[in-house]
A and B are shown apart, each in its own frame.
Chain A
Amino acid sequence: MSPLLHVSNISKRFGGFVALDGIELEVQQGERLGLIGPNGSGKSTLVNCICGTLQNEQGAVHFDGAAMDGLAAHQRTHRGLARTFQLPRPFHSMTLADNIRIPMLFTAHKRSGPLHADSVDARCVELLRLVGLHDKARQMPRDLTQVEMRKLELARAVAAEPKLLIADESMAGLSHSEIDDILALLRQLNERGITIILIEHIMSAVMSFSQRLAVLVTGKKIADGKPEDVVRNPEVVRAYLGE
């Protein structure tokens, strides 16, 4: 079966700095892929290139059988590619419910046809309930705690009814129970059929969640396979612990 996402030979430079160097990556439908790497290794740049926020100079991104080159970020979202941001970026002048409404109005209904106003409202509340924020539907993002913001970020990405969700460091700075919260949520989404790429620094979370693990170091992919094997790969160990 052809992979849902195929990243072939992606390269990206910023001036003289090579951020990504010939990245090859495949993600199968329904898979849980973990992506790790030291700071500055190019993880976020890769996400940006996949999602269209940045344009890669070389290489191609294929998603769901179609080439993504030249497509703007919002068009890729329409095709079923969603992502969260490392630092949550809510729409700060809108209520939580309205934050969820945006992707629903602009993405979800593109595929299922125009939605009735009431059903949109109902869907917003249902999504907030999924992340446990439904009682704050009328509140503003500035009243939320860190973990609640991360959950809103995830809910908003899910509202676009994606086939693939890239969760970019959703757990940074959270406590153990909050991390478990988010992990449970991600598992739930995966069980609903959403393919997930988890980008994280928290090894315990990544190990327990991922079916497969890829490692990025200074713009190159140095490992890709079963988590237990990758973690014992000498190059990976060297990258994290030094020579």
Chain B
Amino acid sequence: MSTFKFTLVCLLVGAVVFVGGHLFGVGYLFFAGYTILQFVALSSAWNILGGYCGYVNFGSAAFFGLGAYTTVFFYKFFPLPIPVLIVIAAIVCGVVGFGMGYLTLRLRGAFFAIATLAMAVVLQTLVVNWDYVGGSRGAYIVRDETVPIFGFSIEYIEYLFLLMMAVSIIAIVISRTIARTQLGFGFASIRDDELAAEATGVPTLRLKLIATTLSGALMGMAGAPFPYYIGYLQPASAFGLEYGVNSIAMPIIGGTTSWIGPVVGAILLGSLQQIATVTISSAVNLLIVGLLLVAFVVIAPNGLVGLVQDRIKAWRRK
């Protein structure tokens, strides 16, 4: 299926989901759905660098938080429509992603991972100390009740849901397109054996920089609408560890070698967490995520998608 057709299918599915939810009128579904879509975007973005290239990024929260605080900055400085903010966040985080890559991509995989963690904390500390965006006191974002779209008037949360749907679709389409092009082959060769890749002519540094820039930009886009979603933003929630662990756990549990894995992981794990938060507690749901991550990493390294693929192969051989 060509990229164009795939995009159309995604848009169609998205439209169906949205219209269905709107007609059923269950507000909570949009809140929960927003969170899940956010994770779809974050997981797909993480997987571009982590799954395709094999470079583990522990600092997803940094880009997410940076995207969120870009929004806060403009809210205080000069309010802009959210789609514009998403684009700005993409640019800012893309640049930061490029910079981080340039400083750290010459390092071995383990050092790179630690450096990303360090970066996340440094960014968080900078934001905590930056009073203009509220610092550790936090920032309030006031939002409208309803938003006019094509003559209809929809709830604000539905508007946010649509925006996040758009961001997720962009992330998925980019993720899938990469996998089917020369870039995807290059990434895979870096993951399999970077030294051999370099020796066979793959410009490894350049490709890795592309991956960090894209990955960072997409994560920033996922973070941009967050302040409007949550209403009151504190550094601890924007840079929270749950974003870091989920953006790693979801692709690993879903499967890191394709674009589908992160989506599957995000939808399954995201839904599970929503249910657990509501029925038990939010701490328990994080515990479940952690346990699942450990279990899958040890037992099923290729994630759920990998398990399904193995099943299909075994069935075909019969």
Identify the A interface with B (CB < 8 A).
51, 53, 72-75, 77-78, 82-83, 85, 89-94, 98, 101-103, 105-107, 110, 156-157, 159-160
Given A53-B195, A90-B193, does the pair A98, B185 have CB atoms closer than 8 Å? yes
Q: Which of B9-17, B156-164, B201-209, B221-229 interfaces with chain A?
A: B201-209
Quick check: B202 and A91 within 8 Å, CB to CB?
no
Quick check: B199 and A85 within 8 Å, CB to CB?
yes
Task: For the complex formed, measure the closest distance between the CB of B233 and the CB atoms of chain A, giving whole angstroms.
Answer: 40
Please tell me if B182 contacts chain A, counting CB pairs below 8 Å: yes
Quick check: B198 and A74 within 8 Å, CB to CB?
yes
A and B contact pairs by CB, cutoff 8 A, 8 listed: A53-B199, A82-B200, A85-B195, A93-B191, A94-B188, A94-B192, A103-B200, A110-B201
Quick check: B201 and A77 within 8 Å, CB to CB?
yes
Please tell me if B196 contacts chain A, counting CB pairs below 8 Å: yes
Quick check: A92 and B198 within 8 Å, CB to CB?
no
Quick check: A106 and B257 within 8 Å, CB to CB?
no
Q: Tally of A-B residue pairs with Cβ under 8 A?
A: 79
Q: How far is the CA of A105 from the CA of B188 in the complex (A)?
A: 13
| B 176-198 contacts with A by CB, 8 A | 182, 185-186, 188-189, 191-193, 195-198
Quick check: A102 and B202 within 8 Å, CB to CB?
yes
B contact residues around A77 at 8 Å (CB): 198-201
Given A91-B193, A92-B193, A105-B182, does the pair A73, B199 have CB atoms closer than 8 Å? yes
B contact residues around A82 at 8 Å (CB): 199-200
Q: How far is the CA of A23 from the CA of B289 in the complex (A)?
A: 57
A contact residues around B192 at 8 Å (CB): 90-94
Q: How far is the CA of A83 from the CA of B205 in the complex (A)?
A: 20
Quick check: B203 and A89 within 8 Å, CB to CB?
no
Interface of A is mostly: helix
Given A94-B188, A102-B185, A106-B203, does the pair A72, B198 have CB atoms closer than 8 Å? yes
Task: For the complex formed, measure the closest distance between the CB of B182 and the CB atoms of chain A, giving whole angstroms.
Answer: 5
Q: How far is the CA of A182 from the CA of B191 in the complex (A)?
A: 29
Q: How far is the CA of A177 from the CA of B175 in the complex (A)?
A: 47
Task: For the complex formed, measure the closest distance between the CB of B8 and the CB atoms of chain A, giving whole angstroms.
Answer: 24
A contact residues around B204 at 8 Å (CB): 74
Q: How far is the CA of A101 from the CA of B184 in the complex (A)?
A: 12
Quick check: A74 and B185 within 8 Å, CB to CB?
no
B contact residues around A102 at 8 Å (CB): 185-186, 189, 197, 200-202
Task: For the complex formed, measure the closest distance between the CB of B317 and the CB atoms of chain A, giving whole angstroms.
Answer: 14
Q: How far is the CA of A98 from the CA of B179 in the complex (A)?
A: 13
A contact residues around B182 at 8 Å (CB): 105-106
Among B196, B198, B199, B203, find the residue whose CB has the most chain A CB atoms closer than 10 A. Answer: B199
Given A85-B196, A89-B195, A89-B196, does the pair A160, B201 have CB atoms closer than 8 Å? yes
Given A85-B196, A91-B196, does the pair A74, B189 have CB atoms closer than 8 Å? no
Q: How far is the CA of A73 from the CA of B193 in the complex (A)?
A: 14
Task: For the complex formed, measure the closest distance between the CB of B204 and the CB atoms of chain A, giving whole angstroms.
Answer: 7
Closest residue on chain B to residue A77 by CB atoms: B201
Closest residue on chain B to residue A85 by CB atoms: B196
Q: How far is the CA of A73 from the CA of B190 in the complex (A)?
A: 14
B contact residues around A53 at 8 Å (CB): 195, 198-199
Given A74-B203, A105-B182, A106-B203, does the pair A91, B189 have CB atoms closer than 8 Å? yes
Q: How far is the CA of A79 from the CA of B125 in the complex (A)?
A: 46
Task: For the complex formed, measure the closest distance between the CB of B128 and the CB atoms of chain A, giving whole angstroms.
Answer: 39
B contact residues around A85 at 8 Å (CB): 195-196, 199
Quick check: A160 and B200 within 8 Å, CB to CB?
yes
B contact residues around A98 at 8 Å (CB): 185
Q: How far is the CA of A159 from the CA of B191 in the complex (A)?
A: 20
Q: How far is the CA of A40 from the CA of B265 in the complex (A)?
A: 48
